[in-house]
Structure 1
């Protein structure tokens, strides 16, 4: 069994906690890293576009995709020994190290990434990005409320095989009730929703998503002549020809995961057994398809280099209004309505990735 990356280890997390105890951790937290956004900067500015309205303006990367106390873990019943800002400290330490991982990718030729070390490191970063966004936070809050409303035991019992698959635990039907009890016995960090949502995202990142991206995916680099944008949900999950756009896949289900790493470079994660065909330079039409998926995957904003004009060239339907409190079932909460109704929208990009 391969060793776990140091950044998901209890030892390294404890280092971050100790550093957070000493203070000096800021209150404004990026949910898309500043060091990543700078890769789209020209003259110190990134072009930000509101996807729903087309409003666009240049902005400093330091002011983009950040919220006050986004990762602050605090409540009256949270252990007082737990530094409230340890996770923000941990993410900032990972980002500092990740700068060298991106430089390595910049020098890597197009095609398959074969370095186990590089894949391991980038799996930490990509999986972390997938779990730290505003959309993910709201999803966790909605999920937590729905578990309380529909019953944690009842929901877990009905979804136990899926939960076991995510956790890489064999589902044993003859132990169904016993396995339900084992999950329910895990103590919650707090009675309040925000600390629980943050703790859940951290757990999915280091225990589930990281291992999935490292062990269950093949990694590929594609270049583009036409520029590529990114967005406030930069890890984009594609559904492929078998999946309607009204039912987008999760990080486990997606046959193709797209992560832009620079204005002319895209990291593509396929199933581990999948060999993606060349050429490893996307055509203009394929680059446009990828930009469409980035727009569609965004929560609110696209980011690109000033002058590239990408956001102006794509148009996606708006997010429909959704009130999780009006949902009549747990399934409605975890599968909210999407930009596209059933049967709407173009084919998922890029068709040759699914052959």
Structure 2
């Protein structure tokens, strides 16, 4: 592929949408000046409300299979100053307070979009405007999680020589001048740069890759759970269960939209077949995937009692390196190995000899 062809491909994947545009961001910045809240949610409250009974949702700690007391959605899936970044003096960093406001404005719009999917009941999603809006919303859900923040920081804090090797692999047509220009645009604060990457990855290529998929809503005969990383990527056969792939080439992307409805997005070339209802055993296999995809927590309706009965291997921790550790990387090849390992989402099934088969064989044309 020539450099010109690469640029044309990247331009085609750049997703243009008002929520990613300068005017929408400017309005969020203006509104964000009045924001004082410090508790920021990495899973939208409006989404978790779909699993509430009596205004409360049931959280379950995955690795300990521990059912926690029921809580309101505002009390879970949050972290202090996750988007605002406290300044050294302990106050909120004013230039970044807008991010939570920006996300909440998109969430408010997409609450209606999720209601549209719910009213569809089941079947293929053909409304392109609805798909475009939800592609941005789901793209942000992919990039805004705690696990993704850690992966971004691992890449950002890596030594320059290792970053250059990383981009030689990821973007082989990037010149040294392009690389230096990219470094010059990088924010001095790694946390701020991580937030920049959160939005830039949605703009190119995550939202475009989601939008081009074949979307359909499936109904389930028994209840679904969701989790703290609810956009779930299934690489699919013929690759093994230890493999994780990105939004572009994973066979299936899953997103529960309620206790009895599942949005399924198939890679172009695959097609929905066999009806849009999942039976009890198929639904159990999807719930197993949701539990396995969780960083640490699953959410279900109080009384459903599903997640604690689904055992999955412990997730290997990826620890963000300290500034001192990052500075100690001397060998670019070793630093690159650490960066690639840490920056790639890892399956809980890696190294497990008897991992379950990929769920719902008909999705892969089997």
SS of equivalent residue, structure 1 residue 223: strand
- The equivalent of 1:167 in structure 2 is none
The answer to whether structure 1 residue 140 and structure 2 residue 152 are counterparts is yes
TM-score (norm. length: structure 2): 0.85
- The equivalent of 2:3 in structure 1 is none
- The equivalent of 1:260 in structure 2 is 256
List aligned pairs for 1:180-199, cutoff 5 A. 180-186=176-182, 187-199=184-196
Contact 2:221 2:260 in 1 (8 A): yes
SS of equivalent residue, structure 1 residue 140: helix
- Which stretch shows the higher mean deviation, 300-309 or 273-282? 273-282
Q: Deviations over 1:301-351 (max 9, x none)?
A: 000000111102211010134456596524333346542234541112121
Aligned Cα RMSD in Å?
Answer: 2.4
Q: Out of 210, 228, 247, which is 2:207 matched to? A: 210
SS of equivalent residue, structure 1 residue 226: coil
Contact 2:84 2:94 in 1 (8 A): no
List aligned pairs for 1:18-57, cutoff 5 A. 18-21=30-33, 23-56=34-67, 57=69
Shift of 1:155: 2.3
Task: Rate the CA distance shift 1:102–1:308 in 2: closer, same or farther, 3 A.
Answer: same
- The equivalent of 2:268 in structure 1 is 272
Shift of 1:288: 0.4
* Structure 1 Cα separation of the partners of residues 364 and 57 of structure 2: 33
* Structure 2 Cα separation of the partners of residues 335 and 125 of structure 1: 22
Shift of 1:285: 0.8
Q: Out of 101, 107, 124, which is 1:89 matched to? A: 101
- The equivalent of 2:364 in structure 1 is 354
* Structure 2 Cα separation of the partners of residues 273 and 340 of structure 1: 26
- Segments of structure 1 that go 5 or more residues without pairing to the other structure are 162-175
SS of equivalent residue, structure 2 residue 70: strand
Aligned residues: 334
SS of equivalent residue, structure 2 residue 96: coil
* Structure 1 Cα separation of the partners of residues 285 and 49 of structure 2: 23
Contact 2:230 2:256 in 1 (8 A): yes
Q: Deviations over 1:272-294 (max 9, x none)?
A: 33221031000111100000000
Contact 1:25 1:89 in 2 (8 A): no
- The equivalent of 2:242 in structure 1 is 246
Task: Rate the CA distance shift 1:134–1:353 in 2: closer, same or farther, 3 A.
Answer: same
- Segments of structure 2 that go 5 or more residues without pairing to the other structure are 1-11, 326-333
Task: Rate the CA distance shift 1:274–1:85 in 2: closer, same or farther, 3 A.
Answer: same
Task: Rate the CA distance shift 1:339–1:3 in 2: closer, same or farther, 3 A.
Answer: closer
Shift of 1:182: 1.9
Q: Out of 269, 289, 292, which is 2:288 matched to? A: 292
Contact 1:236 1:294 in 2 (8 A): yes
Contact 1:228 1:263 in 2 (8 A): yes
Shift of 1:74: 6.6
Task: Rate the CA distance shift 1:289–1:319 in 2: closer, same or farther, 3 A.
Answer: same
Shift of 1:16: 0.6
